[in-house]
Amino acid sequence: MCISFSPTYKNLIEYFDSPNPIGSTTVYKSKPSVSYSMVKQMAKVFVNGYGNIGRRLASALSKDNEISLLGIAKYTIDEQILEDLKNKFDIYVPENLALKYKSSIAGTIEEAVSASDLVLDAAKEGKGYSNKIRFYQPLRKPAIFQGGEERHGDRAVAKMIHNSRVNFDEASGKQYVIQGSCNVSGMGKVMQPLMESFGDEIQRYDVTLVRRWADLEDSKEVKDSIQWDKNPHHQEDVKDFIPHANLYVEAFKVPSRMMHLHQMIVRFRSKAPTRDRILDLFTKEFAVAILNSAKGTADVRMKAIELGFEHGDTNMVHIHQDVLRVQEETLKIVYSDDQTGLVIPENHLLLQSMILRRPRSEAVKRTDKLFRISDKKRLLEREFA
């Protein structure tokens, strides 16, 4: 389904002038801080969920001068959280908390959704569906969901999974789209250039995902175990946007907080291309770095923190050249995947396709400027030469 307005600035302006369907009269702490005339020029975005992904989305969007970030949702709240977020973002809460915190918040979640042009849903896995049914659908708001939401079945939130390297243009004007998870986004970034260059020469892809147990910011315990996954969703998710890939995925969760690592085994019908040809292919890829001397995922994460990258994110995948091997018909690629950071620029690209209907090249330029991805790539490649 397509969104109800054509997102030219003129239409956005007409849209902004339409009456608020909620019509609430409650007086809260503040209104969004940008002036009315500025708001008229910008797409209004609300971040629904402020966990590991939501906080990154909010901090990135707050620096984007063509987006008006309405604010963020908080479902768990206390005085300390309010104090920490004070002067950062306007806070919107569920209705049952609105009265208690009315002097510190900007409104309810329903009011924020109603006032937005697009919602970035960053809810705890699986809660995006109820948000869609409760808010986005009745208020006819386009929304981007995250990779933990369902693509198929009764609780499906969208008919498409986005990967900016593969199907960016198809998201243009869509009402609901899932941004692929970090593992799925990483696989797309590596598989698509291989498919474009070698197509039918490739017989199959076997990918082993070595997944981190928790994120750096998580308080949950990291269990000393290697867990397998009976039915990794990643295989079907990637096939959603690369349907013809002969792809097989296994996933193992390991006791680490420092990124995911993928080993992708690519079997060719005859002799595999040389290492140099493979490396050449990825040299100019956006958000793909080629590193040579990292010894593990923690080296890359700690370097990102040392170099002052925001949230310690690299926002990319890193092909480890020192363990890239070619043996007869087989190519083995090992790459680490910035679990929390990779999907944030992907969301930014996706929103440019959905509501601004930009061509990919232009969207990539804007995203690169906001996240400094090419600079970070150069720095990392120099550090791990």
Residue 165 makes contact with ligand NAP by CB under 6 A: no
Torsion of CA 203, 297, 121, 129, to 10 degrees: 60
Q: Which is nearer to ligand NAP, 146 or 367 (CB)?
A: 146
Q: Which is nearer to ligand NAP, 64 or 337 (CB)?
A: 337
Residue 177 makes contact with ligand NAP by CB under 6 A: no
- Taking contact as CB under 6 A, which single stretch among the options 12-20, 21-29, 43-51, 328-336 is the one that binds ligand NAP? 43-51
Sole residue written with tokens 């097989």: 248
365 CB-near residues (< 8 Å, 6+ apart)? none
Nearest to 121 by CA among 217, 130, 171: 130
Least distance from C-beta 295 to ligand NAP, angstroms?
Answer: 22
The Cα 202–Cα 122 span in angstroms is: 36
Q: Which is nearer to ligand NAP, 162 or 331 (CB)?
A: 162
Q: Which residue is nearest to ligand NAP (CB)?
A: 51
Q: Which helix (H) or strand (E) holds 318?
A: strand 317-320
Query: Residue 34 gets which letter from DSSP?
Result: S
Least distance from C-beta 310 to ligand NAP, angstroms?
Answer: 15
Among 12, 28, 46, 54, binds ligand NAP (CB under 6 A): 54
Least distance from C-beta 56 to ligand NAP, angstroms?
Answer: 8
The Cα 291–Cα 305 span in angstroms is: 17
Q: Which is nearer to ligand NAP, 39 or 351 (CB)?
A: 351
Q: Which is nearer to ligand NAP, 48 or 192 (CB)?
A: 48
β-pair partners for 248 = 206
Residue 215 makes contact with ligand NAP by CB under 6 A: yes
Q: Which helix (H) or strand (E) holds 82?
A: helix 79-85
Residue 127 makes contact with ligand NAP by CB under 6 A: yes
Q: Which is nearer to ligand NAP, 124 or 152 (CB)?
A: 124
β-pair partners for 266 = 205, 331
Give the phi and the psi of residue 2 in degrees, each rounded to 5. -95, 155
Residue 50 makes contact with ligand NAP by CB under 6 A: yes
The Cα 137–Cα 1 span in angstroms is: 12
Among 49, 71, 232, 312, binds ligand NAP (CB under 6 A): 49
Least distance from C-beta 212 to ligand NAP, angstroms?
Answer: 8
CB 168 within 8 A of CB 162: yes
Q: Which is nearer to ligand NAP, 12 or 53 (CB)?
A: 53
Query: Residue 322 gets which letter from DSSP?
Result: G
- Taking contact as CB under 6 A, which single stretch among the options 34-42, 241-249, 284-292, 337-345 is the one that binds ligand NAP? 337-345
The Cα 189–Cα 182 span in angstroms is: 11
The Cα 241–Cα 212 span in angstroms is: 24
CB 185 within 8 A of CB 241: no
Among 43, 48, 268, 317, binds ligand NAP (CB under 6 A): 48
Residue 124 makes contact with ligand NAP by CB under 6 A: yes
Residue 347 makes contact with ligand NAP by CB under 6 A: no
Residues forming the site for ligand NAP (CB under 6 A): 48-54, 73-76, 122-125, 127, 131, 146-149, 181-182, 215, 339-340, 343
